Amino acid sequence: MEAILFAVRTKYKDVTHISTEELASWLDPQDNAVSAGLSSDLSNTDGMVPESQGGARDQEAKELLDQGNIILLDVREEDEYNVSHLENARRVRDSLNAEEVEELLKEVLKPFNEKEPEEVLKIVCYCSLGYRSSDLARKLKTQIDKVKPSTSLQIFNLEGSIFKWANEGRKLVDNYGNDTTYVHPYNMVFGMTLKKCLHKYK
């Protein structure tokens, strides 16, 4: 795994990478991860949550303001996400274009438009090992530099992503919200970095 992590850091030098230990220290004490939106899946045609959800969306936005300042973005395919993901993580397609990234950022920041978070808002992207999530982190950072939102933001890639997180025995949930230890291994090559006993394809 170390060789892959080094390759990710080298390819994405402009992205801030954080360790699983650091993310765990942010999440565990207050359990303050937020999903920042009604949908945990941005896999529809335009990658966005439908606007028709109206008042329910506004209520959720109010609730999110009380839950913390960390947004988790899971940058994997639906079948991977359904096996397991970090609790409260929101799934995002890894192939978002510039316009979709702009819409994603607007959607993520919408709950904070009326009330700024008390601390810097942290967006943490993860995938299997860090390639897809680093790419999204880079796109988000580029968009933030372009639009300069009023909310203070920090963008991170989770180093080692869900494979390292799972190998360390940290908390995961399945598509029904139940605790699980299993993770989709993505493919045979990358799956070699995930403990064999944790493999599950569906």
Residue ranges of domains in the chain: 2-198
Residue of 147, 144, 74, 151 whose CA lies nearest to 111: 151
pLDDT at position 197? 98
Share of the chain above pLDDT 90, in %: 69
Distinct helix (H) and strand (E) counts, the chain = 7, 7
What does the pLDDT read at residue 32?
Answer: 40
Q: How far apart are CA 30 and CA 175, in angstroms?
A: 23
**Per-residue pLDDT for 48 more than 90?**
no
pLDDT tens digit sequence for 102-141: 999 999 988 887 777 777 899 999 999 999 999 999 999 9
Q: Is domain 2-198 classified as CATH 1.50.10.20? A: no
- 51 Cβ neighbours under 8 A, 6+ residues apart: none
Q: Is the pTM of this model over 0.95?
A: no
Point out which residues pair with 166 in neighbouring strands. none
For 192, how many CA atoms within 13 A lie in the half-sphere containing its CB? 7
pLDDT given at position 119: 79
How many residues appear in the chain? 202
